[in-house]
């Protein structure tokens, strides 16, 4: 495929009053690169190529395990972002998330106002910001639990000026209803790809109807999740990759962007070549017939 290296080619969406290019950058895997200088260059290059939406979290860190990927000295995605991009360019939107945490108990789900405030303040400290553009309340995989109290606590932090807009992550439509009854929701971030969690097809559509961004994570990784890009591609994906002189990962990412104008992609990498391939996908157009073969 032609290497039109601009994230702007995918179009834009608004998160509240913040306009972002639909092709963004996920920071989870930036800590996987043991070469700190290369990681810094990847972040700077992403912004040079039109990325103005970066998704991150204070719990994105190395070494590997539940909270991050990679080996070697501990690195925090937020601190890499700060080193690479501060002072931040005008128009750059940084979305982060709170909920999961780690302490002497291990990995846990924040369940008190103090725990959530501590996590918000940690993101502010690591990023060197006075406020956070968008904060997603990320819950553990407990579909039936209420998020009303926790989302309400974040609303208080928004009202205090620490947060500009709110979103939710790893949630169901019922959670969205709960949250919207309390405060505006600008985005829903769930694991979703061409061959995983397709039960969220209707949820994706519901978000579009309500003017809310749907932000899939693991769109390229699929069932591999934190393990990185999947190599388990269907014949249809392989055929379209060959037809477009693209990689299967690019077809997966293009399919994601074609699911609706409110769908934002946040592929992440610490590899400069993969970054260029991801950005080029913004200009990859799939016909209705091609999308039908993938579906």
Read off the pLDDT of residues 95-104 as tens digits, 9 standing for 90 and up. 999 998 766 6
Read off the pLDDT of residues 231-274 as tens digits, 9 standing for 90 and up. 567 888 889 999 999 999 999 999 999 999 999 999 999 999 99
- Looking at per-residue confidence, does 127 or 66 come out higher? 127
Alpha-carbon torsion angle 41, 65, 228, 12, nearest 10: -60
Which one of 60, 88, 108, 192 is the catalytic residue? 60
* Mean pLDDT, residues 147-162 taken together: 97
The CA distance from 237 to 33, in Å, is 28
The 3-state DSSP class for residue 47 equals: helix
H/E stretch holding 132 reads strand 132-138
Q: Where are the domains of the chain?
A: 24-229
pLDDT of residue 68: 46
pLDDT of residue 69: 46
Superfamily of domain 24-229: NADP-dependent oxidoreductase domain (3.20.20.100)
Annotate 149-218 with DSSP letters as a single string: HHHHHHHHHHHTTSEEEEEEES--HHHHHHHHTTS---EEEEE-BTTB-GGGHHHHHHHHHTT-EEEEES
* Mean pLDDT, residues 78-91 taken together: 97
The CA distance from 246 to 202, in Å, is 29
Tell me whether residue 60 is one of the annotated catalytic residues: yes
The encoded tokens of residue 35 equal: 């070469």
Mean pLDDT for all residues in the chain: 89
* Mean pLDDT, residues 2-19 taken together: 90
Contact 77, 60 (CB under 8 A): yes
- Name the residue with tokens 């309390």: 182
The CA distance from 156 to 242, in Å, is 51
Read off the pLDDT of residues 197-235 as tens digits, 9 standing for 90 and up. 789 999 999 999 999 999 999 888 644 445 455 556 788
Pairing of strands 100-103, 187-191: unpaired
Of residues 54, 125, 156, the one with CA closest to residue 96: 54
pTM of the model: 0.91
- Looking at per-residue confidence, does 238 or 56 come out higher? 56
Would you report the helix, strand and coil content of the chain in percent, each value rounded to 5? 40, 20, 40
């Amino acid at each position: 495929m032609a290497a039109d290296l601009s994230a702007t080619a995918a179009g834009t969406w608004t998160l509240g009053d913040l306009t972002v290019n639909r092709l963004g950058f996920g920071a989870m895997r930036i800590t996987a690169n043991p070469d700190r200088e290369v990681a810094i260059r990847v972040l700077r290059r992403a912004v040079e190529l039109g990325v103005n939406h970066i998704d991150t979290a204070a719990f994105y860190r190395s070494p590997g395990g539940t909270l991050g990927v990679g080996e070697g000295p501990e690195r925090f995605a937020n601190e890499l972002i700060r080193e690479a991009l501060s002072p931040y360019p005008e128009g750059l939107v940084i979305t982060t998330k709170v909920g999961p945490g780690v302490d002497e108990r291990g990995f846990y789900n924040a369940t008190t106002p103090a725990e959530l405030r501590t996590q918000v303040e940690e993101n502010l400290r690591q990023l060197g910001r006075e406020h956070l553009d968008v904060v997603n309340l990320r819950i553990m995989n407990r579909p039936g639990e209420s998020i009303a109290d926790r989302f309400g606590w974040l609303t208080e932090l928004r009202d205090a000026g620490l947060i500009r807009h709110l979103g939710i992550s790893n949630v169901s439509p019922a959670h969205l209803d709960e949250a919207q009854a309390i405060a505006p929701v600008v985005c829903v971030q769930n694991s979703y790809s061409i061959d995983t969690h397709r039960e969220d097809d209707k949820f994706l559509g519901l978000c579009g109807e309500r003017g809310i961004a749907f932000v899939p994570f693991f769109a390229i990784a699929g069932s591999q999740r934190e393990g990185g890009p999947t190599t388990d591609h269907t014949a249809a994906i392989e055929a379209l990759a060959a037809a477009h002189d693209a990689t299967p990962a690019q077809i997966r990412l293009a399919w994601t962007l074609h699911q609706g104008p409110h769908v934002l992609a946040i592929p992440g990498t610490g590899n400069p070549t993969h970054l260029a391939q991801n950005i080029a996908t913004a200009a990859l157009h799939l016909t209705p017939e091609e999308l039908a073969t993938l579906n």
